[in-house]
Amino acid sequence: MSEGFSVDQMQIGQSASMSKTVTEADIILFAGITGDFNPAHIDEEYAKNSMFKGRIAHGMLSAGFISATLAMKLPGPGCIYLNQSMKFKAPVRIGDTVTATVTVTDINIDKKIVKLDTICSVGDTKVLVGDCAMMKP
């Protein structure tokens, strides 16, 4: 497994992405793992009458794709998540392919801390936007 990038190897503007198509199983497993059985996610009859007119994936599932991109791509294995802010902009549905993209915005070499913009999108639609800080010891 790759060790990813050390802080002194990263550059402002550097980015990485990962994509995942959301499945029925992803939503059911996420509900089971977290205990979040909100009917907006698991009950089609309920969800049809919601503002979304159908089931949607948990927002934190998309946030998990950001975590995966950080851990596996940039900065990569061994990084430590320090904080994350995010805003959910649009729903994700079963069958949607979510692309998580992280982009370096600031590097503190002395503290080994990197700040990144974080975006999840489905096609041209941003479904989650935010930023985070990571430590890469």
pTM: 0.93
Contact (Cβ atoms closer than 8 angstroms) between residue 88 and residue 98: no
Angle at 120 between CA 5 and CA 34, to 5 degrees: 95
Q: Is the pLDDT of residue 116 over 90?
A: yes
pLDDT value of position 2: 66
Q: Where are the domains of the chain?
A: 7-21+62-135
The tens digit of pLDDT for each residue in 67-104 reads: 999 999 999 999 999 999 999 999 999 999 999 999 99
pLDDT value of position 56: 97
Contact (Cβ atoms closer than 8 angstroms) between residue 12 and residue 5: no
* Cα distances (Å, whole numbers) of residue 44 to 34, 56, 81, 91, 116: 20, 9, 34, 15, 36
Q: Is the pLDDT of residue 37 over 60?
A: yes
pLDDT value of position 60: 96
Q: How confident is the model at residue 1 (pLDDT cuts 50, 70, 90)?
A: low
What is the CATH number assigned to the segment(s) 7-21+62-135? 3.10.129.10
